Amino acid sequence: MADYHIHFSVMFPVGSAGNVAPALALYRRLAKELSREGQTIGFAAWADDEPGGPELWLHDDGCGDIEHVITFALRCAEAFGLQGLWGFRWCLWCSRPRLDGYGGGAKLLDLGRRRSLDWLDCERWVARCVAGPGQPRTPAEAVLFPVAAAQGWTEAAQARELLAFVDAEIAADPGAAGRLQAILAAAAAKENTMLCRECGEPMFIEENGVSHHEGGGLDGIDYDRDADHVAVAEVEPGT
């Protein structure tokens, strides 16, 4: 049996010395939440005493979890009003010489906007380069590429996030491809890009008049922002 491990070590700025203890409290809270769900938090967090600014040292503790780090970083950004870009890189290691056992990647976050900005996965990057530009390599790309070409879309960070998510959905349920095509067709038919007056994030209004914040799921809705406040357009469509 082969064991797969993710390793990383990175410094995370928390804004001020007064934020170090509350940030560690957020870490412990996240660890408890994950424990209640039957998970172990996928990184360790330590206060750093080195000069250069208040930071936490985040590193894997044998086998890291990238999503746990992202969740923690965005929670800190929200709690302490952090701004600017922050990112980290990781490596994938395997206890046996498996073909899929080695690689790595990087993640870039916009702390001010509390969102993922870009990401890189070595395996996907190599495969895309070998396939050549514009050549679909996965079921999700086969669905998305024709729509992207028709709309003149670029391969932006959000599109890459969507590709990874949709590939997993199609692998689990082939019928997801047809649903995705319907969602993309509806998105391409929108005449206006609306921003929420409250948070400045993209939003849309359904035919029944219900407004939603745009999200990365297959239904295109950000339920967390919808729960926080009602999406109200800065400029009503058609004006």
* Res 174: pLDDT: 72
Q: What percent of the chain has pLDDT over 70?
A: 73
In tens, the pLDDT along 173-188 reads 777 777 777 766 666 5
Q: How far is CA 237 from the centre of its chain?
A: 29
Element containing residue 172 per DSSP (H, E): helix 157-172
- Higher-confidence position of 86 and 204: 86
* Res 189: pLDDT: 54
* Res 155: pLDDT: 56
- Closest alpha carbon to 118 in 164, 80, 59: 164
Where are the extended beta strands (E) located within 14-172?
Answer: 44-48, 55-59, 85-94, 103-110, 115-121
Q: What is the DSSP letter of 105?
A: E
- By DSSP bridging, strand 202-205 and strand 55-59 are unpaired
In tens, the pLDDT along 104-152 reads 999 999 999 888 888 888 887 787 777 766 666 666 667 666 766 666 6
Q: Is the pLDDT of residue 24 over 90?
A: yes
Average pLDDT taken over every residue of the chain: 80
pTM of the model: 0.58
- By DSSP bridging, strand 211-213 and strand 202-205 are antiparallel
* Res 80: pLDDT: 95
Distances (CA, A) of 199 to 90, 225, 236: 32, 9, 15
- Closest alpha carbon to 2 in 90, 91, 89, 102: 102
Are the C-beta atoms of 210 and 197 separated by less than 8 Å?
A: no
- Higher-confidence position of 172 and 30: 30
Q: How confident is the model at residue 1 (pLDDT cuts 50, 70, 90)?
A: confident
Q: State which amino acid sits at residue 30.
A: L
Q: Tell me the two tokens of residue 207.
A: 């035919």
Q: How confident is the model at residue 192 (pLDDT cuts 50, 70, 90)?
A: very low
* Res 45: pLDDT: 95
